[in-house]
Amino acid sequence: MKLAIRNYFSFVTDGLRWNLQFTFSSWVVLMVLILVAAAGAQPNIASIRFDTQTQVFRIDAADMSYVLGINERKEVQTLYWGRRISAKDTFVAARPDPGLSSFDSSINTTRQDFAAWGGGLYVEPDLKVTFPDGNRDLVLQYMSHTIAGDRLTILLKDVSRDVYVQLEYQADASTGILKRSAQVQNRTSAPLVVEQIASGTWNLPRGNDYRLRYLTGRWAGEWNLHEQLIQPGKTILESRRGSTGDQNNPWFAIDQNGSNDEERGDVWFGALGWSGSWQISIEQDEAQQVRVTGGPNSFDFGYRLAPGEHLESPDFYGGYSPDGIGGASRLLHRFELSSIVPHAPNAKLRPVLYNSWEATEFKVDEAGQEALAEKAASIGVERFVVDDGWFGQRASDRAGLGDWYVNPVKFPHGLKPLIDRVHSLGMDFGLWVEPEMVNPDSDLYRKHPEWVLHFTGRPRSEGRNQLMLNLARPDVRAYVFQALDKLLDENDIAFLKWDYNRNWSEPGWPAVAPEDQKKVYVDYIRNLYSIIAELRTKHPGVEIESCSGGGSRVDLGIMRYTDEVWPSDNTDAFDRLLIQDGFTYAYAPGVMMAWVTDSPTWVNQRSLSLEYRFLSSMQGSLGIGANLNNWKSDDFATAQKLVAQYKQIRQIVQRGSLYRLISPQKGSEYSVTESVSDDRDNAVVFAFLHSSQMLYPFPRIFLRGLKPETMYRMKVLDGKLSPDTPAVATGSFWMQHGLDVELRGDFQAAAFTLEKTRP
Ligand code: GLA
């Protein structure tokens, strides 16, 4: 039972009457506030207050304030979202917008935080339902609320029917990122169908010069950053693919055009925690207001709720930064590592791994893998991963998926001898799996053809010769869990690379009643999450990577269950600069796997030096994916040196603050990133040149994030700096005067560190 010590407390301050509901945790928070105030420090806690007189909620966290009011129609109305407002300021009661005309009525121009479709709403709704009697009108009104520490819960109800919606807001004290979700409850006596459910709407301050940034991509070409002015009308970012997809990623950032750059200006941003079909609508309405609404995709959606049942939206995270898009990324990175990933905020650093995929493809066997493992260990690799090809009758991508037994020809004694050898070499062992898929040429499919997504009597479209298992089915869920659980029980496996190499087609679920079939969009994803959660509970030491033919399933939903993600199958170290730059707008370098592979690369047939390839991968979580059987002794020596250096700097790269000093976007010849440690005593800088032209030198590099008065010692890891560069200088010197790297030619790279000098 949960112990709740509650009492209610009102007091008068600044002429206002505050009515606070105090829980035990609120008292603790109050004590902390008093202590922090006494020490003269900035409080690092979130506060949520409700003014009973004006009916205004105010959420303050880090550098952000979010203010909501209940207006006279009992709608929950956004009053403010942006930079933190002084505690001395108060907000007047929410007042509905009068509307523009009979065509653009008040409910459309009033900035509702959560609007149901009804009463003549034309802007994007957060909720749309159909009742069995044909009624499709839903108008929500405020009923009650609770405040518990950093959480606000607001209960809404339809004007006449017993449909309730519970809105949740949770503020993160250290970043000011708000987590929002909505739960619709059917308390009527008949079933209803939810045709659209969003987590909520983010309303930006009124303005007509906003610019939207978003990420697009495709296989081997993920993480392209786009910018566009927000114009009247709607931009929809979405996936209808059953999973996240890389065509759009569920992330957005909005700034005011013209006034901002990488490190300056207001930025509002958000990311959806959902790995199924999703949509984020960015809409400028007829009153030039911008609203962002996000949740599961409403296309082909319909979730039947029986009486007494409820449906929960995914979490939608939103934040504000006054420090440009760079500041917005850093807040998101910090939030992901401190609140999202498994074991947050104490997740382990990513080990240096070796993966055999590009070296051997499906041709894995005990002797070949052992030979690679020995070579990997010799350069300092900490985790050895066997990729696709070890199971079932898997000789190519045409067969075997679904049959998760060790192939007896390739591994006649099972995986144990290889795993033992890997352990004896001082590494842990990882294995590739693709549990949600089945090849028609597999024992599993021959036995259970009804287990895949399909419509009765219709063709079943294949992708990479495989079909999708319907994870929403309880028997499929049980099979997938048991197969993986057995694998982990029988083998000493530290890591699973969880792959997913196609999107959905024919999303039918004939085993359930027709009116329940569309539940597959939600139930599949819930089962996916619950399988991983259950596996992690039973095998707490196991780490998991989310891979989807590259970066097609990266979002804040799957990141709650996986320790790292694979951004792209494109491992060309030059292409990767752009891919990694795009990735870091939304996601932390600490979860971004980056392998050093062979040159020339299979992608572009481009030749790059081993040093260049290493430095590119060292911007994230380093892995090696080259065929070590082809390496010369010089390559091993270079790799040993750079792997050892990476281990020295990985805390800074994986956990520090990232500054994109020169972005490779827009065809830039240059790219420079800097990572600064949390205590700002250390920094690592990577610089890359595409091609020198017309004798122009590499642009001067101005560092960021250092302490101006602290002395830092410069150390070159690779490449050359200008001979004028001092060995030691203040943070202010490195940031204001800057420094020059000597990069000339094609595909050149350099890296250096700065370390606070010790007396
Ligand atoms: C996907 C992954 C690759 C590799 C192959 C194996 O394409 O992204 O890294 O694991 O599958 O089939």
Q: Which of 2-11, 584-593, 741-750 shows the lowest mean pLDDT across its residues?
A: 2-11
User: For all residues of the chain together, what is the average pLDDT?
Assistant: 94
- Which one of 615, 640, 655 terminates a domain? 655
In this structure, are 300 and 417 located in the same domain? no
State if residue 387 touches ligand 1 by the CB under 6 angstroms criterion: yes
Question: 433 and 497 in contact (C-beta within 8 Å)?
Answer: yes
Q: What is the mean pLDDT of residues 524-545?
A: 98
Q: What would the two tokens of residue 716 be?
A: 């070159």
Q: What is the dihedral of CA 98, 95, 64, 224, to 10 degrees?
A: -20
Q: Look at residue 375 in the predicted model and tell me its pLDDT.
A: 98
Q: Which residue do the tokens 């129609």 mark?
A: 73
With respect to residue 335, please indicate whether it lies within any of the assigned structural domains: no
Q: Is the CB of 301 under 6 A from ligand 1?
A: no
User: Which sign, positive or negative, has the C-alpha torsion 16, 22, 28, 31?
Assistant: positive
Kindly tell me if the per-residue pLDDT of 5 is higher than 50.
no
- Most informative mutation of 388, 546, 548 for ligand 1 (most atoms within 8 A of CB): 388
164 and 307 within one domain: yes
Mean pLDDT value across residues 134-158: 98
- Taking residues 539-559, what's their average pLDDT? 98
728 and 621, same structural domain? no
3-state SS, 66-112, equals EEEEECCCCCEEEEEEEECCCCCCCCCCCCCCCCCCCCCCHHHHCCE
Residue partners of 18: CB distance under 8 A and separation at least 6: 10, 11, 12, 49, 50, 51, 52
Q: Are residues 398 and 539 in the same domain?
A: yes
Which atom of ligand 1 is nearest to 547's Cα? 8
Residue at a domain's end among 655, 683, 701:
655
For 607-645, the pLDDT digits (tens) are 999 999 999 999 999 999 999 999 999 999 999 999 999
> Does a structural domain hold residue 43?
no
| CATH code of the domain covering residue 321 | 2.70.98.60
Same-domain pairing of 645 and 673: no
Same domain, 206 and 270: yes
Atom of ligand 1 nearest to the CA of 397: 12
Find the Cα–Cα–Cα–Cα dihedral 636, 639, 641, 642, rounded to 10°: 180
Question: What local confidence, expressed as pLDDT, does residue 13 receive?
Answer: 33
Active-site choice (60, 441, 499, 681): 499
Determine whether the shortest distance from the Cβ of 549 to ligand 1 is under 6 A. Answer: yes
Handedness of CA 552, 561, 453, 240 (dihedral sign): negative
Residue 241 CB coordination number (10 Å): 19
Distance CA 194, CA 126 (A): 11
Could you tell me if the CB of 550 is within 6 A of ligand 1?
yes
What per-residue confidence (pLDDT) applies to 41? Answer: 44
| Pocket-testing residue among 218, 222, 243, 432, ligand 1, by greatest number of atoms within 8 A of Cβ | 432
Residues 6+ apart with CB under 8 A from 116: 125, 126, 127, 128, 129, 138, 139, 140, 158, 165
Answer whether 494 contacts ligand 1 (Cβ < 6 A): no
Percent residues over pLDDT 90 in the chain: 92
Vertex 279 angle, CA 274 and 283, to 5°: 135
pLDDT digits (tens, 9 = 90+) for 329-338: 999 999 999 9
Distance CA 197, CA 297 (A): 8
Classify strands 200-203 and 353-355 as parallel, antiparallel or unpaired. unpaired
Taking residues 647-667, what's their average pLDDT?
Answer: 97
Residue whose CA lies nearest to ligand 1 atom number 6:
388
Q: Which amino acid is at 624?
A: I
| Any atom of ligand 1 within 6 Å of the Cβ of 583 | no
Instruction: Please give the pLDDT value at position 260.
Output: 67
CB of 432 closer than 6 A to ligand 1? yes
Integer-rounded Cα Rg, in Å, for the chain is 27
For residue 21, pLDDT over 90 is answered with no
pLDDT tens readout for residues 393-426: 999 999 999 999 999 999 999 999 999 999 999 9
Q: What is the CATH number of the domain that holds 720?
A: 2.60.40.1180
CA quadruple 653, 658, 662, 666: dihedral positive or negative? positive
Query: Ligand 1 atom 9: the closest Cα is on which residue?
Result: 569
User: Domain for residue 515, yes or no?
Assistant: no
Give pLDDT, residue 261.
84
Q: Where are the beta strands (DSSP E) in 159-232?
A: 163-171, 178-186, 192-197, 200-203, 210-216, 224-229
Dist CA 77 CA 95 (whole Å)? 8
Query: What is the count of structural domains for the chain?
Result: 4
Query: Do residues 333 and 340 touch, judged by C-beta distance below 8 A?
Result: no
- The residue contributing the CA closest to ligand 1 atom 11 is 549
Is the separation of the CB atoms in 322 and 212 below 8 Å? no
User: Is 499 annotated in the active site?
Assistant: yes
620 and 558 assigned to the same domain: yes
Question: Is residue 562 within 6 Å of ligand 1 at its C-beta?
Answer: no
Residue type, 126: D
Residue of 431, 499, 570 best suited for mutating to test ligand 1, as the one with most atoms within 8 Å of CB: 499
Residue whose CA is at the smallest distance from ligand 1 atom 7: 549
Q: Determine, yes or no, domain membership for 469.
A: no
The helix (H) or strand (E) run that includes residue 653 is helix 633-655
Q: Give the domain extent around 8.
A: 2-38
481 C-beta closer than 6 A to ligand 1: no
Using the atom order of ligand 1, give the atom closest to the CA of residue 569. 8
Paired with 100 in beta bridges are none
* Residue carrying the six token digits 């009697």: 133
DSSP sequence for 580-597: HHHHHHHS-GGGBEEEE-
Question: Are 391 and 429 in the same domain?
Answer: yes
pLDDT band at 43 (very low <50, low <70, confident <90, very high): low
Q: Which of 655, 674, 709 is the last residue of a domain?
A: 655
Among the listed residues 285, 82, 101, 306, the one whose alpha carbon sits nearest the alpha carbon of residue 189: 306
Q: Is residue 126 part of a domain?
A: yes
388 lines ligand 1 (CB under 6 A): yes
- 232 and 304 share one domain: yes
Which structure tokens are listed for 245? 């997809």
Residue pair 296/521 in contact by the 8 Å Cβ criterion: yes
Q: Are 182 and 199 members of one domain?
A: yes
- Angle at Cα 523 formed by Cα 522 and Cα 524, nearest 5°? 95
Domain contains 74 = no
- Is the Cβ atom of 569 under 6 angstroms away from ligand 1? yes
Q: What is the pLDDT of residue 259?
A: 66
548 Cα nearest atom in ligand 1: 8
Q: What is the CATH number of the domain that holds 542?
A: 3.20.20.70
Q: Where are the beta strands (DSSP E) in 568-724?
A: 593-596, 621-624, 657-662, 670-676, 682-691, 711-718
Kindly indicate the confidence band of residue 651, based on its pLDDT and cuts at 50, 70 and 90. very high
Whole-model pTM: value is 0.94
At 44, is the pLDDT very low, low, confident or very high (cuts 50, 70, 90)? Answer: confident
For ligand 1, the distance from its centroid to the CA atom of residue 501, given in whole angstroms, is 7
Please confirm whether the linkage preceding 440 is cis (ω < 30° from 0).
no
| Residue 252 located in a structural domain | yes
Average the pLDDT over 747-752 and give the result: 98
Among protein residues, the one whose CA lies closest to atom 2 of ligand 1: 549
75 lines ligand 1 (CB under 6 A): no
Residue nearest ligand 1's atom 4 by CA:
357
Q: What percent of the chain has pLDDT over 70?
A: 94
Examine the pLDDT at 6 and tell me if it is beyond 60: no
- Which residue has the least CA distance to atom 1 on ligand 1? 549
Give residue 12's pLDDT. Answer: 30
pLDDT at 36 over 70: no
Are residues 275 and 189 both part of a single domain? yes
Same domain? For 243 and 365 the reply is: no
CB atoms near residue 450 (< 10 Å): 14
Q: Is residue 264 part of a domain?
A: yes
DSSP 271-293: EEE--SSEEEEEEE-TTS-EEEE
Which atom of ligand 1 sits closest to the CA of residue 549? 8
Arithmetic mean of pLDDT, 260-283: 95
Which residue has tokens 């699973």? Answer: 496
Which two tokens mark 388?
């696709």
Give the pLDDT of residue 716.
98
Q: Which residue is catalytic, options 60, 63, 403, 569?
A: 569
306-356: pLDDT as tens digits: 999 999 999 999 999 999 999 999 999 999 999 999 999 999 999 999 999
**Is 569 an annotated catalytic residue?**
yes
For ligand 1, what atom is nearest to the CA of residue 550? 8
